Structure 1
Amino acid sequence: MTESTEELDPEVRQLASKARDLARHGDADTLAAYVDAGVPVNLTNDRGDSLVLLAAYHGHREAVAALLERKADPNQTNDRGQTPLTAAVFKGETDIVRTLLDHGADPKAGTPSAVEVAGTSGRQDLLELFRGK
């Protein structure tokens, strides 16, 4: 279930904004504590970017792992159809790609898919990782 900030009262909106900042900056321990305290693990911003997508895009493997361990959806798309895996492929974050795959990310999900982005980027190493997934 995706929870949008628009549905929350101002105090909770501020907390949600802080959680998104933690994901962008990779503060895995504090982010995990926020989620453990009740911040929705699949919280999104106004563009549909989830916490795990933000952490993946900004190259924070530990934050991605902490969110996935708390049941973040590795295949949740944003408003443009992008997944956390697509973001990690786009940014060349191989360790994050592996972490997402280990937690059930589908390389064929999203628009464009991670497979498509890896193909257009010439990332044969990532295409090999995706074989059989």
Structure 2
Amino acid sequence: MTGPDDIITIALRVFETAREGRTAELVKYLDAGVPVDFTSPNGDTLLIVASHQGHLDTVQVLLDRGADHSRVNKLGDTALDSALMQNHDEVARALLKAGAVLEP
């Protein structure tokens, strides 16, 4: 049986894989049932985290699996906002291609 501490540890690992662009490892978590729109307490999704760090491969996998690019974190930022703030142009283009829009 998995306890609350184990679940928190797993959640942290999942976000770490997105943050570090470890796409193959993230795919294993997604295949095991982690939701593609898994969200942290501050509203960051795996897509927002990967976009902020500029991990194009990870972003593309998440988009291909249906990640919601319009989700907004508690700071009011989307994945596109995060990519643009960090000057990750290729990631921003992938998000725009997937239908993300700049909010006024």
Matched length: 102
- Counterpart Cα distance in 2 of 1:64 and 1:9: 28
Deviation at 1:15, TM superposition (A): 1.2
TM-score, normalised with respect to structure 1: 0.72
| Residue among 47, 56, 61 paired with 1:52 | 47
RMSD, aligned α-carbons: 1.4
The Cα of 1:14 is off from its aligned counterpart by 1.5
- The answer as to 2:74 corresponding to 1:66 is no
Aligned-pair CA distance for 1:10: 2.8
> Partner of 1:39 in structure 2?
34
**What's the TM-score once normalised by structure 2's chain length?**
0.91
Note the C-alpha offset of 1:9: 3.2
Q: How does 1:23-38 map to 2 (within 5 A)?
A: 23-38=18-33
Which structure has the greater CA radius of gyration? 1
Which digits, 9 at most, give the CA deviation of each residue in 1:23-79, with x for residues without a partner? 100001111121121011111222111100000001101111111111111110001
Instruction: Give the structure, 1 or 2, with the largest relative contact order (CA under 8 Å, sep 6 or more).
Output: 2
- Please list every run of 5 or more consecutive structure 1 residues that lacks an aligned counterpart in the other structure: 1-7, 114-133
Residues 1-133 of structure 1 aligned to structure 2 (within 5 Å): 9-108=4-103
Q: Is the Cα contact below 8 Å between 1:16 and 1:39 reproduced in 2? A: no
Give the percent of matched residue pairs that are identical in Structure 1 and Structure 2. 34
